[in-house]
Chains A and B, each alone.
Chain A
Amino acid sequence: MPRTRLMTLVEVAVMAAIGGILSIFPVIKLWPQGGSVSLVMVPVALVAFRRGWVAGVGCGLLVGLIDLMLGPFILHPVQVLLDYPVSFAALGLAGLFRPRWEQERSARSLGRRLASGIVLAGLVRFIIHFISGVIWFGAFAPKAFSPALYSFFYNISYIFPEVLVTLVIMLLLTVKAPRLVLKP
C-alpha cells in the first residue's frame, strides 16, 4: 500500500473520531431531538481540504455511522440512510474546492474557496436532510399537514448556523494554523 494512501486512511479515521466526539458535544442546544449546533462539520471540512474530496467523503461517511451508533435517531429506513451516512458524506464535497496550485493559495483565493466549499457542502447536506424529513414526516403526519414546510424550517434552523460556525472556524484555522489545513 503506497505511503500517502495509508497516511490518508489513518488521518481520515482519526478525524472521524474527532467528528464523532464533536457531534455529541453541542456548542449551542436548539431542539430536543438532536438539532443542535455543533462543530461536527469542522474535521470533515479539514480533511476535505487537506486530502481532497474523496477523503472528505470517506470521513463524512464514518462520522455519520459513528453518530448513528452513538445516539441513533431512527424513524424510517430511508431516513436512517439519508440522515446519517449520506448527509455526512456529502460534507466531504467541500474538498472539490481544494486549492491545487501555489497561486490558488493566496489569502483571498483561499478564503473564497473555503467559503464556496463549505457552503456547497452545507447546501447538499441541507437538501438531503430536507428530503429525509419530507419522507419520514410524510409517513407519520396527518394528510392535511405539510411535511415539506416542517422539514424546511426544522433543518434550516440548525444547518444554517452550523455552516456559519464551520466557515468561521475554518477561516480562523487557515489564518492561525495554515499547515493544518493545507498540507505543505
Chain B
Amino acid sequence: MSRLNHPVIGQYIPADSFLHRLDPRAKLVFVFVFMMIVFLAKNAAGYSLLVGVALSGVLLSRIPLPMILRGIKPVLYLIILTALLHLGMTRGGDVWWELGPITVYEQGVVQATVISLRFLILVLMGTLLTLTTSPMELTDGLERLLCPLTRVGVPAQDLALMMSIALRFIPTLWEEMDKIMMAQRARGADFDSGHLLRRVKSYIPVLIPLFISAFRRAEELALAMEARGYRGGKGRTRIRELRWKKEDTILLVVLAVLSISLWWLRG
C-alpha cells in the first residue's frame, strides 16, 4: 500500500460559477427531488428534458469535463453491467443480432440505453453537487434543512457541530496516521504482506496511538470550548451565514416546472 501522501479530501473543486454560488440548501433540495422525479420519465420527451437539465448543470458548474468523468468512473462498471443484462435478457420487437445462445432484440437495445441514461443522470447530479459544494457548506445546508426536526428531538445543531469538528479534524488526523505508519515502518512494521489476520493485527500499533492522540485532542477541544462558555443549541452565532438569493429561488422554480412537466409528459 502506498503512503497516504495526499490529504486531498473529498471531491470539491473550488471555482466561481453559478452552481458554486448557489445556496447549499437550494442545491440539496434540488438534487434530492431531482433524483426522485428522474423515475417519472417514461419516454423520449421526458428523458431529453432530464438530459437537458443535467447538461446545463455541467455547463453552469464550469468544471472541466475530465474532473466530472472521474467522479462518474466508479459507477461506469455498474452501468455497463446493467446495460449488458438488459441487452441479453429483454425480449420483444425485432431480432437485431444473434450469436449462439444470445439473441439481442430491439427492445433490449432500447431498454439498455434508457436504463444507462437514467443511471448516468442520477450519478451526474450527485457528482455535480459534491464537486461544487464544500463539505462545510453541505453541513450548514443540512443543519438548516433539518432544523424543523429539532422539535421532535433530533439534535440537528449538535450533529452539525460534530460534523464541522469532524471535517476540521480529518486532514489533521490523516497526517497523524501517516506519521504513525511511517514511524512503525521505521521500526520494521509491515502492513502489506502476510495472511489476513496478520495484516489486520499489524494495524493495532497504528490504531492505539491514533486513538489516544485523538481522544487527547478531543479533551483539549472540549476544555477550550467550555472555557469559552460554549453552551450549545440556541443563540449560538456562526462564522458562516447562509444567504438565500434570487438565484436560489429561480432554481426551485425550475425544479417545480421540471417536476410538473415530467408528470405531464409521463402520460
Q: Say whether A76 contacts B35, CB under 8 Å.
A: yes
Q: Give B155-182 as 1s and 0s: 1 = Cβ < 8 Å from A's Cβ atoms.
A: 0001101110111111001100100000
Q: Say whether A80 contacts B35, CB under 8 Å.
A: yes
Q: Say whether B111 contacts A142, CB under 8 Å.
A: yes
Q: Does A62 reach chain B (CB closer than 8 Å)?
A: yes
Q: Which of B16-55 contact A (CB under 8 A)?
A: 32, 35-36, 39
- A interface size (C-beta, 8 A): 57
Interface SS majority for chain A: helix
Q: Say whether B9 contacts A70, CB under 8 Å.
A: yes
Choice from B39, B211, B232 contacting A18 with Cβ under 8 Å = B211
Q: Say whether B203 contacts A27, CB under 8 Å.
A: yes
Choice from B11, B158, B162, B225 contacting A16 with Cβ under 8 Å = B162
Q: Say whether A21 contacts B177, CB under 8 Å.
A: yes
Contact A172/B204 with A1-B232, A14-B169 known, Cβ cut-off 8 Å: yes
Once bound together, how far apart are the Cα atoms of A10 and B216, in whole Å?
11
Q: Say whether A172 contacts B201, CB under 8 Å.
A: yes
Contact A77/B35 with A33-B74, A180-B215 known, Cβ cut-off 8 Å: yes
Q: Say whether B211 contacts A21, CB under 8 Å.
A: no
Q: Give A130-164 as 1s and 0s: 1 = Cβ < 8 Å from B's Cβ atoms.
A: 00000000011111110000000000000001000
Once bound together, how far apart are the Cα atoms of A66 and B174, in whole Å?
14
Give the chain A neighbours of B219 by CB distance below 8 A.
7, 10
Q: Which of A36-55 contact B (CB under 8 A)?
A: 39, 42-43, 46
Q: Which of B184-221 contact A (CB under 8 A)?
A: 196-197, 199-201, 203-204, 207-208, 210-212, 214-215, 217-219, 221
- B interface size (C-beta, 8 A): 71
Q: Say whether B212 contacts A180, CB under 8 Å.
A: yes
Q: Say whether A169 contacts B207, CB under 8 Å.
A: yes
Q: Give A10-39 as 1s and 0s: 1 = Cβ < 8 Å from B's Cβ atoms.
A: 111111111011000101100011100001
Q: Say whether A10 contacts B222, CB under 8 Å.
A: yes
Q: Does A65 reach chain B (CB closer than 8 Å)?
A: yes
Q: Which of B116-134 contact A (CB under 8 A)?
A: 118-119, 122-123, 125-127, 129-130
Give the chain A neighbours of B200 by CB distance below 8 A.
27, 165, 168-169
Q: Does A69 reach chain B (CB closer than 8 Å)?
A: yes
Closest to A1 in B: B232
Q: Say whether B119 contacts A140, CB under 8 Å.
A: yes
Choice from A42, A62, A70, A168 contacting B201 with Cβ under 8 Å = A168
Once bound together, how far apart are the Cα atoms of A162 and B204, in whole Å?
16
Q: Does A173 reach chain B (CB closer than 8 Å)?
A: yes
Q: Which of A85-125 contact B (CB under 8 A)?
A: none
**Minimal beta-carbon separation of A117 from chain B (angstroms):** 18
Q: Say whether A14 contacts B4, CB under 8 Å.
A: no
Give the chain A neighbours of B111 by CB distance below 8 A.
142
28 contacts between A and B (CB under 8 A): A1-B232, A9-B162, A9-B222, A10-B165, A10-B221, A13-B169, A14-B169, A14-B173, A14-B215, A14-B217, A14-B218, A17-B167, A20-B9, A20-B170, A21-B174, A27-B199, A58-B162, A62-B162, A66-B135, A66-B163, A69-B10, A70-B135, A72-B11, A141-B82, A142-B86, A143-B89, A144-B89, A176-B208
Since A20-B166, A75-B75 are in contact, a sample of 10 more A-B pairs with Cβ atoms closer than 8 Å, ordered by chain A residue number, is: A1-B230, A10-B222, A11-B222, A14-B214, A14-B221, A16-B166, A32-B74, A69-B10, A72-B126, A73-B75
